[in-house]
Amino acid sequence: MIRFNNDYSRGAHPAVLKALAETNAVSYGGYGIDPWCEKAADEIKKHLDKPDAAVHFLVGGTQTNMIAIAACLLPFQSAVSAETGHIHAHETGALEHGGHKILTLPAKDGKLDAGQIEAVAEQYRSSPIQEHITQPRLVYLSFPTEYGTVYSLTELKRIRAVCDKYGMVLFVDGARMGYGLAASDVTLRDMARLADMFSIGGTKCGALFGEALVITDPALKPNFRSYIKQNGAMLAKGWLLGVQFHALFENGLYFDICRRAVDQAMQIRAAFEARGIPVYVPSPTNQQFVVLDHGQIEALEKKYVFEPDHHVDKTHMCVRFCTSWHTSDEDIAALTADIQNL
């Protein structure tokens, strides 16, 4: 079976594994205070114009979201998210478990727009009974979104302007950041300029595991390590994260492997469209959502693993095909041929 079901079904890029093997017999300081975390942070910061940015390395995506967001919010403050946002839809109420409400907004193709956010912020600001509602204090965006779409630079700037107007924090969940950068006019430099905090996902982009969290807002930096430890997220052998991110960023490997996966995804999309099968969402990244009828699903299931998303009607289902850093060109060739013959 050829797997297109997700982008976290395989170990690490060989270069990452090699780096881990090479450092396996060396001793380092624990808890993320080690030369590799420092070097990895430096490599990442080469892509930003924020020499003072704090960079922390965490193990997983939900963990990163819940800790980062909670560190931005006082108890009566809430996060604004698309209904489809990962923090609302797929994290078992982790944010609420930490005490915070999520104010959800209907999303088009997984995205929020600046106007929606402004409306929520204005509603609070103009409320005569503020103390009866939560203060929308943080905007949660995923980049790319859960449906593979990306924000344009213009869209991000508009959202940033709303955040500035209302004193809100902009947090970007970049669990698939590499794929998003490869498919948009947004750079890490832009991200660092526009977001107060954002993550750079490793788990889905070449690492065994790991997410880098970049904090650019000085007010959000102090004591962040205390939040990490208190939430059980401080990896004892923290250098394992540094080693991996260093390997990914040292020579631009991260960008290269994600770009390739996006190119492959575009071939899948083109194949479906050529076959007259519409994409459910026009995603320019490594996740492609298409609507198939049951016959088509049965035909493809014989050879490929892909993921059901939801029933569209009695005879159709929206399904997801994912490429990733380890997708082979042979697998793409096979799939696109089989799509053609559906």
* C-alpha distance from residue 137 to each of 15, 98, 159, 191 (Å): 40, 15, 13, 19
Tally of CB atoms within 10 A around 2: 17
Could you tell me the smallest distance in angstroms from the CB atom of residue 254 to a copy of itself? 17
Give the torsion sign (CA, 264, 265, 267, 271).
positive
The CA-CA-CA angle for residues 47, 58, 50, to 5°, reads 25
Length of the chain counted residue by residue? 342
> 56 vs 269, which CB is nearer to a copy of itself?
56
Q: How far is the CB of 132 from a copy of itself (least distance, A)?
A: 5
Cα–Cα distances in angstroms (integers) from residue 231 to residues 58, 69, 111, 183, in the given order: 11, 12, 29, 33
Q: Which is nearer to a copy of itself, 135 or 184 (CB)?
A: 135
Closer Cβ to a copy of itself, 145 or 203, answer by number: 203
Cα separation, 121 vs 165, in Å, equals 9
**Nearest-approach distance from CB 299 to a copy of itself, in angstroms:** 21
Nearest-approach distance from CB 46 to a copy of itself, in angstroms: 26
Tokens representing 177? 């950041």
User: How far is 333 from 31, CA to CA, in rounded Å?
Assistant: 44
CB of 101 to a copy of itself, least distance (A): 4
The residue among 70 and 112 lying less far from a copy of itself, judged by its C-beta, is 70
Helix, strand, or coil (residue 202): coil
Q: Which is nearer to a copy of itself, 116 or 184 (CB)?
A: 116
How is residue 38 written in tokens? 């420092």
Cβ at position 293, least distance to a copy of itself in Å: 22
Nearest alpha-carbon partner for 210 in 220, 219, 218, 200:
200
Residue 22 or residue 273: which is nearer to a copy of itself going by CB?
22
Question: What are the CA-CA distances from residue 83 to residues 141, 147, 149, 273 (Å)?
Answer: 11, 12, 15, 28
Of 63 and 145, which CB lies nearer to a copy of itself in the complex structure? 63
Min CB(165)–a copy of itself separation in Å: 19
DSSP three-state, residue 74: coil
Closest CB to a copy of itself among residues 206, 284: 206
Cβ atoms of residues 324 and 261 within 8 Å:
yes
Q: Using the minimum distance from each CB to a copy of itself, give the nearer residue, 72 or 194.
A: 72
Query: What pairing do the DSSP bridges indicate for beta strands 135-142 and 102-105?
Result: unpaired
Question: Structure tokens of 290?
Answer: 């298409």
**Could you tell me the smallest distance in angstroms from the CB atom of residue 230 to a copy of itself?**
4
Q: Least CB distance from residue 300 to a copy of itself, whole Å? A: 17
Rounded Cα distance, 268 and 325, in Å: 15
